[in-house]
Amino acid sequence: MTRAGATASLASPADLADLIAALTRKVADFPKPGVQFKDLTPLFADRDALVAVTKALAGTASGADLVAGIDSRGFLVGAAVATRLGTGVLAIRKSGKLPPPVLSESYTREYGDACIEIPADGLDLRGRSVFLIDDVLATGGTLAAAARLMERAGARATGAGVVVELPALGGRAAVAPLPVHSLSQA
């Protein structure tokens, strides 16, 4: 049982948001000064909380035939959501983690530039409906890059789900018109 009670007692989105807040560790000045990192490790390690998060995100991904989890914490939740939906899961990786050839997309995030990649061979995404999963929506750079990457691969991003949204950083506007479903805000 979680600190906030069993999964069955999560009667509303507000209850889930409270559970997420209670199990999120806030780390100041990481990975660089001025950034407050949201560590969801305690949330994901809690059985009931993971089930509640997975169930809620799966409920927002209707119509997708593939779930794509974004490196690295999005992998954890994405795989669980895909299992619940009965779909496959695609790992969208940070640059340099996959063997070539790859499709890559560069972007800017709140603490520097980055690049994400997917395999260019052995994976046919043409015509697929893909639901994107990430842990935190901050500036929106990562999700926007993932949506562009899916489009370049011939797939269509149908929406995105995140565990925590940081509305003050404007990420939702950066990914528009992609629908984003967040389970909590910080």
Q: Is 73 a catalytic residue?
A: yes
User: Domain for residue 1, yes or no?
Assistant: no
Q: Is 156 a catalytic residue?
A: no
- Please tell me which residue in 73, 93, 128, 172 is annotated as part of the active site: 73
pLDDT at 11: 59
pLDDT at 145: 97
- Give tens-digit pLDDT for 106-141: 998 777 899 999 999 999 999 999 999 999 999 999
Whether residue 5 has pLDDT greater than 50: no
Local confidence band at 62 (pLDDT 50, 70, 90 cut-offs) = confident
The domain that holds 77 is classified in CATH as 3.40.50.2020
CA 38/CA 145 separation, integer angstroms: 21
User: Domain for residue 32, yes or no?
Assistant: yes
- Please tell me which residue in 84, 109, 110, 156 is annotated as part of the active site: 110
User: Domain for residue 2, yes or no?
Assistant: no
Local confidence band at 4 (pLDDT 50, 70, 90 cut-offs) = very low
